[in-house]
């Protein structure tokens, strides 16, 4: 019987103790004496968020298929337990064995969003691992700390805290990394010798083996490895055969309700659309699908092994899956009458989608989601959204006639080349959608129309055509939102339209982290020491704490946010090759300035470079 790391007194004094006790259905238990590698896989946020992350589920299952590896899970302790662990010097522990994380061979941290960076330091701190990689010595006293996920595509702001990063999709190189680790340990090599050899594996980036220098104006002068046998360019790792790639057929079932309490069926990776603001649409190219037979088998096994009552299709754009009708009809036929709900996110609103959604959900309770991103057609062309107002209004009209009366509209403010008229058009587009509803005879309507308009503030991300763009000050962003709000209140159907917007200061910090360099680590460390934690959570966000950290470290916020980058500027992430070329991204940046639309990948190949990866669904790779 396992001994829990927390005693009954502590468990009874904290919120949701089930977050910390492990033992859930399908969690993997092994004899630690029979394994060679112990891997603690971490999502640096609260349990309910981390347990909903598909990437960790995939790696957890894949690692544990190896007899010589035991992978266990770790999440950020909530603030109540955080305080107790610090007061009583209780080391952070893994859920399965309840053993201290510091005793593991690897600590792998998934970096899903920038605002979790202080939580990364919390994980290291509570694990009693030195926060700076350079302080972990030559020996094996501490685990190898490895980062992965979307934010690893610019690891520089947090490079000081990690021994290595995995660039790309985890299914490809981890087996080779584990084999190398065993070889190095058996041979009696030091920690640094292992890191040097690991850096020669495709996709592995070891920050300590690279040097960066800066020009007088603060931009990067050079970035290069310090050893001849370390590659100057890190190649992103890509799964070419999604059908035969590892996938969890018995995912862990939590004791408590989590953010996504359902079976998740990943139908494809990548996106053909090419929105110029979207990092995921670039870094996950090319689009790769799982076969219909594969998906059917996974659906059966996962529903049986979990007991979940909902199954959700996962992808960046589900409508682009080539056999969407096949998988949807299968799910409806097989599970629709067994009290299994079917969730279909990321669908374009067209006749087929509406027909399908009408079969699998209660249209009287559900709302439809449109993401025009920009109010005017001019600005939608700038961002290459590939969505016309005619299509939006037609979709809304069909939905209203089909019985829906609730619509969510998502937009961004502060986009490149955005003007005041573009912001006002957000209100007018919402008004035109509402008018479509009221064109229906009153006796045929389904109650009152509800249009929920939400705006976030644009953040330029690495490896997008907008990586060269500037940002604005928080006051500017709030001014943009006020323009939209004022315009909505002047609409004839204003009572049918609700409007909300995101925090502007969080956006600014996210932008700094997204495109920052190694100098940002000092700011993150300073803010963490002064209490910054759970920055993605509104109730814990403290902008003044971050302003003080920038002032204390002498790092200029405006340098990272207020200037448009020169076309030839060296970016902190330029040493990573994602497949999509810088030349293509720059050409898209220039097209954006001219309002030129680029066709999607199925219509015409634009020569982005991603076709070199085998298995992708694009015109060039089939030519």
Band (pLDDT 50/70/90 cuts) for residue 269 is very high
Whether pLDDT at 620 is above 70: no
Distance CA 427, CA 11 (A): 49
63 within 8 A of 131, measured Cβ to Cβ: no
Q: Which of 40, 146, 30 is nearest to 95 (CA)?
A: 40
Distance CA 111, CA 296 (A): 30
Whether pLDDT at 284 is above 70: yes
The pLDDT tens digits of the residues spanning 177-193 come to: 999 999 999 999 999 99
**pTM as predicted:** 0.96
Both structure tokens of 88: 């009583």
The alpha carbons of the chain give a radius of gyration, in whole angstroms, of 25
Q: Which of 88, 56, 192, 213 is nearest to 133 (CA)?
A: 192
The residue ranking higher by pLDDT, 337 or 559, is: 559
428 within 8 A of 389, measured Cβ to Cβ: no
Q: What would the mean pLDDT of 207-232 be, rounded to a whole number? A: 97
pLDDT at position 234, please? 98
pLDDT at position 454, please? 97
Band (pLDDT 50/70/90 cuts) for residue 2 is confident
Angle at 555 between CA 554 and CA 557, to 5 degrees: 130
Q: What would the mean pLDDT of 145-155 be, rounded to a whole number? A: 98
What are the residue ranges spanned by the domains of the chain? 8-216, 262-360+578-623
Q: What would the mean pLDDT of 395-414 be, rounded to a whole number? A: 93
Residues 16-31, buried b or exposed e (16+ Cβ, 10 A)?
A: ebebbebebeebbebe
Which residues, 6 or more positions from 260, have their beta carbon under 8 angstroms from its beta carbon? 52, 312
CATH of 8-216, one of 3.40.50.280, 3.40.50.300, 3.40.50.720, 3.10.310.70: 3.40.50.280
Q: Which of 461, 460, 448 is nearest to 497 (CA)?
A: 448
Whole-number average pLDDT of the chain = 95
Q: Does domain 262-360+578-623 have CATH number 3.30.750.210?
A: yes
pLDDT at position 622, please? 45
Whether pLDDT at 351 is above 80: no
């Amino acid at each position: 019987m396992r001994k829990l790391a927390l005693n009954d007194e502590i468990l009874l004094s904290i919120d949701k103790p089930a977050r910390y006790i492990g033992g859930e259905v399908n969690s993997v238990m092994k004899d630690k004496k029979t394994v060679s590698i112990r891997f603690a896989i971490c999502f640096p946020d609260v349990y309910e968020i981390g347990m909903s992350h598909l990437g960790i589920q995939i790696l957890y299952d894949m690692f544990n298929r190896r007899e010589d590896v035991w992978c266990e899970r770790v999440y950020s302790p909530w603030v109540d337990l955080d305080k107790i662990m610090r007061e009583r010097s209780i080391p952070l522990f893994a859920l399965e064995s309840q053993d201290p994380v510091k005793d593991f061979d690897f600590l792998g941290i998934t970096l899903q969003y920038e605002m979790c960076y202080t939580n990364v330091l919390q994980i290291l701190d509570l694990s009693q691992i030195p926060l700076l990689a350079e302080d972990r010595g030559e020996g094996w006293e501490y685990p190898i700390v490895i980062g992965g996920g979307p934010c690893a595509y610019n690891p520089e702001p947090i490079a000081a805290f990690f021994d290595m990063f995995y660039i790309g999709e985890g299914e490809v190189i981890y087996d080779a990394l584990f084999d190398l680790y065993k070889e190095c340990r058996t041979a009696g090599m030091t920690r640094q010798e292992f890191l040097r050899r690991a850096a020669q594996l495709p996709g592995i980036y070891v920050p300590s083996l690279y040097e960066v220098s800066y020009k007088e104006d603060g931009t990067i002068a050079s970035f290069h490895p310090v050893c001849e046998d370390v590659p100057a360019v890190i190649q992103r790792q890509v799964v070419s055969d999604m059908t035969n790639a590892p996938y969890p057929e018995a995912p862990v079932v939590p004791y408590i309700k989590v953010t996504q309490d359902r079976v998740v069926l990943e139908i494809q990776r990548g996106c053909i659309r090419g929105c110029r603001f979207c990092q995921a649409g670039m870094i996950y190219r090319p689009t790769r699908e799982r076969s219909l037979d594969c998906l059917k088998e996974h659906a059966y096994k996962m529903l049986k092994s979990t007991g979940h009552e909902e199954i959700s299709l996962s992808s960046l754009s589900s409508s682009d899956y080539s056999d969407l009708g096949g998988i949807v009809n299968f799910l409806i036929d097989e599970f629709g009458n067994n009290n299994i709900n079917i969730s279909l996110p990321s669908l374009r609103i067209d006749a087929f989608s509406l027909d399908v959604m009408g079969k699998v959900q209660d249209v009287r309770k559900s709302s439809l989601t449109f993401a025009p991103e920009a109010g005017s057609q001019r600005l939608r062309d700038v961002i290459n959204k590939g969505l016309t107002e005619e299509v939006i209004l037609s979709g809304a009209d069909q939905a209203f006639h089909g019985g829906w009366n609730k619509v969510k509209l998502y937009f961004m403010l502060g986009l490149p080349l955005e003007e005041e008229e573009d912001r006002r058009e957000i209100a007018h587009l919402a008004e035109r959608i509402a008018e479509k509803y009221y064109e229906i005879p009153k006796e045929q309507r389904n109650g009152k129309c509800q249009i929920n308009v939400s705006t976030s503030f644009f953040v330029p991300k690495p490896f997008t055509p907008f990586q060269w763009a500037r940002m604005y000050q928080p006051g500017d962003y709030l001014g943009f939102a006020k323009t939209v709000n004022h315009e909505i209140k002047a609409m004839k159907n204003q009572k049918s339209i609700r409007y909300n917007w995101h925090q502007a200061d969080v956006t600014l910090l996210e932008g700094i982290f997204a495109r920052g360099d190694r100098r940002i680590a000092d700011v993150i460390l300073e803010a963490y020491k002064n209490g910054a934690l759970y920055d993605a959570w509104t109730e814990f966000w403290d902008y003044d704490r971050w302003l003080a950290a920038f002032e204390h470290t002498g790092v200029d916020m405006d340098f990272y946010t207020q200037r448009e980058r020169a076309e030839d500027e060296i970016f902190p992430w330029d040493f990573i090759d994602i497949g999509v070329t810088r030349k293509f991204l720059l050409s898209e940046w220039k097209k954006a300035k001219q309002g030129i639309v680029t066709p999607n990948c199925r219509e015409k190949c634009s020569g982005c470079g991603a076709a070199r990866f085998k298995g992708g669904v694009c015109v060039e790779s089939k030519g």
